Amino acid sequence: MNTLTADDRTQVTREATVEYWKHIIPIVQIAFAIHVLLLGLFLIVDLPVMWVTNAASVAAYIACLLAIKRRLYRCAGMLICIEIIAHAAIATWVLGWDSNFHLYVFCIVPIIAFGFHSSPVRRGCLSAAVLIVTVGGYLLRNKVPVFSISENARDLFGAANALTATALLLHATALSVRFNLSMHMNLYHSAHRDSLTNLYTRRRVLQRLRQLGGGRREIPTALVLIDIDHFKQINDKHGHDMGDVVLQQVADVIAQCVRTTDIAARWGGEEFLVLMPNTRFEDARLIAERILTHIREQGGEIRQSLNLTATLAVAILKDGETFRDALNRADQRLYEGKQEGRNRVMLAE
């Protein structure tokens, strides 16, 4: 069942929002710096309306950064959106359409889309404000500016704002893409990694098998099945916390012994599986022997009185054989290894 409960949705939204604003903070800091520079510039050229507006903008960004620090993300988003929309409207009215201050409103489109996705009324109002500033400013371009500035100064403002607004939009888009990829990476890790051992789960093994497909191969696919010996006794004697430590240590051994092309997974309980594409039987056996040797060495390192061993079985996927058939052969040999005294590598040739 893939449907999330209301609590699950709330938790996912909360975590995604935190991650999103981590990526947006640099944009807020850059915007703050830009408005500090503009404040100084408008003080120098003595445009009271604009320097007062920029002073208010600087205060708004300080409040925004404080809101982000306190995780008041919706408040921060509203502050940014109102500041940029209002600033763009005032600057366009004062300096004219050709000053290109209206271009900054496009930088807040991702914030409106993400920050207010669950508030359609606020999202609609902010979106309408963006349209009013851009379309309205264009329609009224011949009736503004209120204050006359030289053509050269207007061209300078226009070029600088076009460059800065476009650069900010490109940077914000890159950060949004990074955020999206980061979320996908986290989701993939959660779906395919065991939370205790950090090895892959069954899902990743089966996914890799589908990628490998069927048919004959010059070099076959091998698998190694690994089962910790007397694991229940370890839990009973040393406690479940120690059992978790043992699982983690064995998982670390397996991860260190296999190759980057192999898929090492926690198969269930104290059982592990390593899928080895393009691996000959003898090579898989050598890796299994190395894993067993290192597992034996881990017992004394975890606790001096702990005798840690494992039983392993090595098998090859034969031509026309399913993974389930090969796994059953390995599992049968593993069982026989347990009967024969454990602490050994069994070959399911």
Distance CA 223, CA 269 (A): 18
Distance CA 50, CA 43 (A): 8
Residue 80 near residue 64 (C-beta atoms within 8 A): yes
Residue 137 near residue 129 (C-beta atoms within 8 A): no
Written as six digits, the tokens of 168 are 């900010």
Q: Is 270 part of the annotated catalytic residue set?
A: yes
Distance CA 114, CA 20 (A): 9
What radius of gyration, in Å, describes the C-alpha atoms of the chain?
A: 31
What is the SS3 assignment for 347?
Answer: strand
* Catalytic option among 19, 83, 270, 282: 270
Task: Specify whether the backbone of 215 is left (phi greater than 0), alpha (psi in -120 to 50) or beta.
Answer: left
Name the β-bridge partners of 272.
226, 266
What is the SS3 assignment for 234?
Answer: helix
Catalytic residues: 270
